[in-house]
Amino acid sequence: MKAYDILLSHQVKPSLQRIAIMEYLLEHRTHPSAEEVYLALSETMPTLSKTTVYNTLRLFADHGAALMLTIDDRNVNFDADTSQHAHFLCKKCNKIYDFHTQIGLNKMKELRMEGHQVEEAHTYYKGICKDCLEIEKTN
Protein backbone atom coordinates (compact mmCIF):
# COMPACT_ATOMS: atom_id res chain seq x y z
CA MET A 1 0.00 0.00 0.00
CA LYS A 2 1.38 3.39 -0.92
CA ALA A 3 1.83 6.29 1.48
CA TYR A 4 -1.09 8.24 0.02
CA ASP A 5 -3.47 5.30 0.44
CA ILE A 6 -2.26 4.59 3.97
CA LEU A 7 -2.91 8.17 5.00
CA LEU A 8 -6.40 8.12 3.50
CA SER A 9 -7.22 4.79 5.13
CA HIS A 10 -6.34 6.31 8.52
CA GLN A 11 -8.32 9.53 7.91
CA VAL A 12 -5.18 11.65 7.58
CA LYS A 13 -5.48 14.32 4.90
CA PRO A 14 -2.55 13.76 2.51
CA SER A 15 -0.25 16.70 1.83
CA LEU A 16 3.12 16.69 0.09
CA GLN A 17 4.95 16.79 3.42
CA ARG A 18 2.80 14.09 5.02
CA ILE A 19 3.22 11.81 2.02
CA ALA A 20 7.00 12.34 2.02
CA ILE A 21 7.21 11.55 5.74
CA MET A 22 5.10 8.41 5.39
CA GLU A 23 7.14 7.29 2.38
CA TYR A 24 10.29 7.71 4.45
CA LEU A 25 8.85 5.55 7.24
CA LEU A 26 7.80 2.89 4.74
CA GLU A 27 11.17 2.82 2.98
CA HIS A 28 13.34 3.03 6.12
CA ARG A 29 12.28 0.32 8.53
CA THR A 30 14.91 1.47 11.04
CA HIS A 31 12.45 3.01 13.52
CA PRO A 32 13.71 6.57 12.93
CA SER A 33 13.31 9.49 15.30
CA ALA A 34 11.69 12.74 14.19
CA GLU A 35 15.18 14.23 13.98
CA GLU A 36 16.35 11.48 11.61
CA VAL A 37 13.30 11.95 9.38
CA TYR A 38 13.84 15.71 9.36
CA LEU A 39 17.53 15.43 8.47
CA ALA A 40 16.80 12.96 5.67
CA LEU A 41 14.03 15.03 4.09
CA SER A 42 15.13 18.62 4.73
CA GLU A 43 17.63 18.69 1.85
CA THR A 44 14.91 18.02 -0.73
CA MET A 45 12.19 19.90 1.19
CA PRO A 46 13.79 23.18 2.39
CA THR A 47 10.50 24.48 3.84
CA LEU A 48 10.18 21.45 6.12
CA SER A 49 10.67 22.17 9.83
CA LYS A 50 11.50 19.87 12.73
CA THR A 51 8.24 20.89 14.35
CA THR A 52 6.26 19.89 11.26
CA VAL A 53 7.97 16.50 11.15
CA TYR A 54 7.34 15.83 14.83
CA ASN A 55 3.72 17.01 14.67
CA THR A 56 3.12 14.93 11.54
CA LEU A 57 4.58 11.81 13.15
CA ARG A 58 2.40 12.42 16.24
CA LEU A 59 -0.62 12.80 13.96
CA PHE A 60 0.24 9.49 12.28
CA ALA A 61 0.49 7.80 15.68
CA ASP A 62 -2.77 9.36 16.90
CA HIS A 63 -4.58 8.05 13.82
CA GLY A 64 -2.98 4.60 13.88
CA ALA A 65 -0.96 5.13 10.69
CA ALA A 66 2.33 4.64 12.57
CA LEU A 67 3.50 3.48 15.97
CA MET A 68 5.20 5.83 18.41
CA LEU A 69 7.88 3.95 20.31
CA THR A 70 8.98 5.22 23.70
CA ILE A 71 11.30 2.40 24.66
CA ASP A 72 13.63 4.59 26.67
CA ASP A 73 13.45 8.06 28.18
CA ARG A 74 15.90 9.55 25.68
CA ASN A 75 14.25 8.83 22.35
CA VAL A 76 10.92 8.69 20.62
CA ASN A 77 10.98 6.58 17.48
CA PHE A 78 8.39 5.77 14.84
CA ASP A 79 7.39 2.62 12.99
CA ALA A 80 5.21 2.40 9.88
CA ASP A 81 4.55 -1.29 10.63
CA THR A 82 1.39 -1.10 12.71
CA SER A 83 0.90 -4.85 12.86
CA GLN A 84 1.02 -6.42 16.30
CA HIS A 85 4.68 -7.02 17.16
CA ALA A 86 7.24 -6.31 19.85
CA HIS A 87 10.44 -4.29 19.69
CA PHE A 88 13.97 -5.03 20.86
CA LEU A 89 16.38 -2.20 21.77
CA CYS A 90 20.09 -2.96 21.79
CA LYS A 91 21.71 -1.24 24.76
CA LYS A 92 25.06 -1.03 22.93
CA CYS A 93 24.27 0.26 19.43
CA ASN A 94 20.77 1.68 20.19
CA LYS A 95 19.24 0.00 17.14
CA ILE A 96 15.62 -1.06 17.41
CA TYR A 97 14.56 -4.34 15.87
CA ASP A 98 11.11 -5.72 15.16
CA PHE A 99 10.57 -8.82 17.23
CA HIS A 100 7.80 -11.16 16.19
CA THR A 101 6.74 -13.33 19.10
CA GLN A 102 4.19 -16.02 19.66
CA ILE A 103 2.84 -14.20 22.70
CA GLY A 104 -0.85 -13.48 22.16
CA LEU A 105 -0.60 -9.71 21.99
CA ASN A 106 -4.01 -9.46 20.34
CA LYS A 107 -5.54 -11.11 23.39
CA MET A 108 -4.15 -8.32 25.55
CA LYS A 109 -6.39 -5.83 23.77
CA GLU A 110 -9.44 -7.77 24.94
CA LEU A 111 -8.47 -7.64 28.61
CA ARG A 112 -10.41 -5.60 31.10
CA MET A 113 -8.32 -4.76 34.12
CA GLU A 114 -10.02 -3.34 37.20
CA GLY A 115 -12.75 -1.90 35.01
CA HIS A 116 -10.33 -0.38 32.47
CA GLN A 117 -10.48 -1.34 28.81
CA VAL A 118 -7.07 -2.02 27.29
CA GLU A 119 -6.86 -0.53 23.78
CA GLU A 120 -3.11 -0.77 23.16
CA ALA A 121 -0.34 -3.08 24.22
CA HIS A 122 3.35 -2.32 23.69
CA THR A 123 6.02 -4.88 24.37
CA TYR A 124 9.65 -3.79 24.51
CA TYR A 125 12.69 -5.93 25.13
CA LYS A 126 16.14 -4.56 25.92
CA GLY A 127 19.49 -6.29 25.72
CA ILE A 128 22.44 -6.75 23.40
CA CYS A 129 21.79 -7.51 19.73
CA LYS A 130 23.48 -10.40 17.95
CA ASP A 131 25.73 -8.05 15.97
CA CYS A 132 27.09 -6.40 19.12
CA LEU A 133 27.51 -9.78 20.81
CA GLU A 134 29.52 -10.98 17.82
CA ILE A 135 31.76 -7.90 18.00
CA GLU A 136 32.33 -8.55 21.73
CA LYS A 137 33.37 -12.13 20.97
CA THR A 138 35.99 -11.04 18.45
CA ASN A 139 37.51 -8.37 20.74
- For 17, 25, 57, 62, 99, the CA distances from 2, given in Å and listed in that order, are 15, 11, 17, 19, 24
Q: Answer yes or no: do 16 and 72 share one domain.
A: yes
Q: Answer yes or no: do 96 and 37 share one domain.
A: no
Range of the domain at 129: 83-139
Q: Answer yes or no: do 77 and 89 share one domain.
A: no
Longest dimension (CA), the chain: 53
Last residue of a domain, one of 45, 66, 82: 82
Q: Answer yes or no: do 67 and 118 share one domain.
A: no
Q: Answer yes or no: do 119 and 135 share one domain.
A: yes
Q: Answer yes or no: do 41 and 87 share one domain.
A: no
Pairing type for strands 86-90 and 112-113 reads unpaired
Give the chain's domain count: 2
Last residue of a domain, one of 34, 58, 82: 82
Per-residue pLDDT of the chain (139 residues; tens, 9 = 90+): 699 999 999 999 999 999 999 999 999 999 999 999 999 999 999 999 999 999 999 999 999 999 999 988 888 999 999 988 899 999 999 999 998 876 655 565 556 667 777 777 788 999 999 999 999 998 8
Which of 66, 20, 65 has the alpha carbon at shortest distance from 47?
20
Q: Answer yes or no: do 64 and 14 share one domain.
A: yes
pTM of the model: 0.85
Q: Answer yes or no: do 58 and 40 share one domain.
A: yes
Last residue of a domain, one of 33, 63, 82: 82
